[in-house]
Each structure stands twice: as structure tokens, then as C-alpha cells.
Amino acid sequence: MSHTEPFDRYIVELRDALAKLDRGAIADVVSELLCAWREGRTVFFAGNGGSAATAAHFVVDMTKTAMVPGCPPLRAISLTDNLPSLTAWANDVSYDVAMSERLRALASPGDVLVAISCSGTSRNVLRAVQTARALGLRTIGLSGRDGGSLKDMVDVCVCAPAAWIGQQEDIHMVLDHAITLALRDAMLAESTRIDGAAVRAMILAAGEGTRLRPLTDTCAKAVLPVGGKPAMEHVLEWLRSYGIRDVAVNLHHCPESITDRFGGGERVEMRLTYSREPELLGTAGGVLAMRSFLDRRFVLVYGDVLTDLDLGELVRYHAAKVAALPAGSPALTMALSKTTRPTEVGLADVADDGRIRRFVEKPSRDAVFSDLAHAGILVLEPGILDHIPAGKGVDFGCDVFPALLERGVPMFGWPIPKGTYLADYGSLEAYARAQVEWPARRCPRDVGHGRAGG
């Protein structure tokens, strides 16, 4: 017999067992964990032997892999990790109560217990389930082929349909990773859902990049490399980290340099929709051209911005301001950064209630009135599009923002927090600076300079 035959047989049996898993039960587990995250509950994990290791692994994945930027993490605790507590209870009373007593000390009604036992008969795990139910916790079981006693004691149970315990443990690890990914996807989707509709985004990438020549003679500035990958890829990854999957991109200069790189968005796990502009429509005109796509609240990002800004906080700030307005009101929120170059950017004056009272694009030196600059990132209600005139060369800073203020359309300003990285890399000097700063952006800094034109 070949030495690889047992391995081959093992893999075939494991694959067949995975195919038989109860998908409905798995979906129920994800729903239970998602509900716990929404309500700020704690999820406890219990297991014996190899299952204790699985419980600990689950906690690592639940608290790290499933994290969503801008959102609170899922709280998860392994009842098997505190060795002094376990040995104290085992020595003084009985190992059977070691996990249940920790649960009694830590849990609150509405929390969740995930009990892992391949046999479904581990006494200390079953005791933990009994305690959990008495305390008002929801209960989830991961067990072996028939579920043992555990299956009938929990609210939902996923049984690993394999004969050997080693394969059952392997299946539990697969479930750990699959459930973690499903949970993170669900959390991402919810993190940017406002009033039941997912936020979309648009990146303004049509500009000719004249200040970056000769680098942009043969490519769009959005694909210039920063930190080893195209700058727009960093922006897409940032949007995706906040759950945004549908993104529009307008194109004009060297459009194939973008479409050849990103296609329909599959390589970045997003869906990209392109708007080609034979003649430049301007920042606002380009957005208006995508009106059918931007039919809900959306994020607008200027194409030469690099940032690690907390987009979740910006969207929540905007949502809170809009909630105080009549339903369907047009409104926008502009991220604002401190600037030391006020004559090169759009300046905003913000009232105590957050409303922008004045906006001037590139004022003369004797007309400077603020040090807060348009940062090139906005959240907009679709009703704003009703206030963008049709035509070529319609610009937000020069045309739309002043008109909105004149009409009394609500515009809000959100000063970005200190330590946020924000850079407009639209000039050769700024691009060279970004090459150094971007890889080190985790260090607290205040390098934002606001929007410069072009």
C-alpha cells in the first residue's frame, strides 16, 4: 500500500463529509452571532481537549478576522483559556463545573454560548449549556455525527457528519473559518446600511493629471503606484473595508490604464461601473452623468486622495444630521482638513451646529477666512443631484457648493480627527511625499493639506 493512500482516503472522506453539512443550521449560527454583535452581547466558547483548542481559535477569529473598521468588534471569550480558574474549580469542586462557574460569573441574559463537543456527551460542556440556559443565554452546539446529548439541549446545532473524531475536529475548524468570513461579510454589509439601503461610492478619476506630467503622459493619475500598488487600489480597499462593494468610476484621460487594471472589479472583490467622458464634464458634471447609479446615499472620493479616514464615523455623522431634516431632503457632508495653503484649496466656514455657512474655492490671499479645507471626500444624498446643472465643466467647488448655500440646501462640515492620514497626491511634490508617508501612515500624524485643483 502506498504511504499516500491513507492521506488520499482521508481527504476524500473529509470532502464528502463537508458536502453533507447542514447549510441551514450554519446560516442559523451566523444569524445568532450577527444578532449578538448588533446587540453588543458577549459570545462564550466552551470545549474539551481538541475542542478547547477549537474554542480558542474561534475567539481569535471572531475578535480579529471578523473586525470591521469603524464598527464595534464582536465580544468573544473562551471559557477554556483561564488555566488558574479551571484548575482552581477542578481541584476545589469538580472539573465538571469549571466552565459553567466561569460562565455564571461572566455572562448576562441575551449572551450566547457556543458549546463544542465531538461526542456531544462531554460532562463539563453539557453542564455549561445547562447553566447558560438557566441564565437566559442563547445556545449553539458544534458536535460530531449524531450530536449526542448536546444536539437536543441547544437552540441550534451543526453536526460534523464524519465517523472519525479527527475529521470531526477538522470540520469544526472549517466551520470556524467559514462562519467567521460569513459573519464578517454580514457585518460589513450592515456597517454601511442606512435606512435599509447599502451606501454606494464614486471615484472621480477622469482628470488629466496635468500637475503630474510627465508621469501621466501615458496613464491616468489614479493608477500611479504608491506603496507598490496603484493609488486607486488603496482607495478601493479602503471603501471595501467599510462594506462598500458597488463603486462608479468616471474616465477620460487614458481610460484603458484603469479598465485594464481593474476590469469589472473582480480582483478587488468589488463591482465597478465605468462612466466614459469623451469631453470632461467637471467634478459635478461627472457625478450627474451617473445619476441612475447614484440613486441612494453615496460617498464621493476625489481621485487623487489617499486616506485612512474613519469612513464609518463620517457616514454616521452625516446620517445623524440628515435624520433631523424633513424626509428626502437634499444634503451633503464634506470632510474638512486643516490647511496651511488656503489660496490653493476650497475653504469652508462651519457654524457650531456643523452647517457650512460659506464656501469659496481658492480665495485670494486677502480673502482667506478659514483654515478648514475641502478634503475631497463627501457623503451625499441623491437629492443633491437635482441641484447640479447639466453641461460640461460643472465643478463642485466653483459652481455647485456656492449655489447650494445660496438656496439654503444643507451642507455640513466634518473636521477629520487629528492623526488621520489625508493627502492629495495630485502634484509631483505631493506624489513624492506620499510615497514616503503612505507606508508609514499608521503613525499618528496630521499631514492633510486639503484639496488642490487639477
**Predicted local distance difference test score (pLDDT) of residue 405:** 93
Q: Residue 143: pLDDT band by 50, 70, 90 thresholds? A: very high
CA distance 42 to 58: 13
Nearest Cα neighbor of 104 from 118, 122, 85 is 85
Listed range (100-114, 348-362, 368-382, 428-442) with the worst mean pLDDT: 428-442
DSSP line for 21-40: S-HHHHHHHHHHHHHHHHTT
Could you give the percent of the chain with pLDDT greater than 90?
50
Q: Which domains does the chain have, with CATH numbers?
A: 5-191 (3.40.50.10490), 197-440 (3.90.550.10)
> Mean per-residue pLDDT for 128-156?
94
Find residue 112's DSSP bridge partners: 43, 138
Q: How many CB atoms lie within 10 A of CB 87?
A: 12
Q: What is the Cα–Cα distance from 127 to 114, expressed in whole angstroms?
A: 13
Between residues 74 and 2, the one the model is more confident about: 74
Name the 3-class secondary structure at 399.
helix
How many angstroms separate the CA atoms of 119 and 167, rounded?
Answer: 13
Is residue 129's pLDDT more than 70? yes
Residue 66 vs residue 203, higher pLDDT = 203
pLDDT by residue (tens digit) across 219-247? 988 889 888 889 999 999 888 888 788 89
Phi, psi dihedrals of residue 319, rounded to the nearest 5°: -60, -40
User: Of 68-77, 207-216, 221-230, where does mean pLDDT reach its minimum?
Assistant: 68-77
Measured CA to CA in angstroms, residue 440 lies from 305, 376, 404, 443 at distances of 16, 21, 38, 6
Confidence of residue 393 (pLDDT cuts 50, 70, 90): confident
Check: CB of residue 236 under 8 Å from CB of residue 210.
no
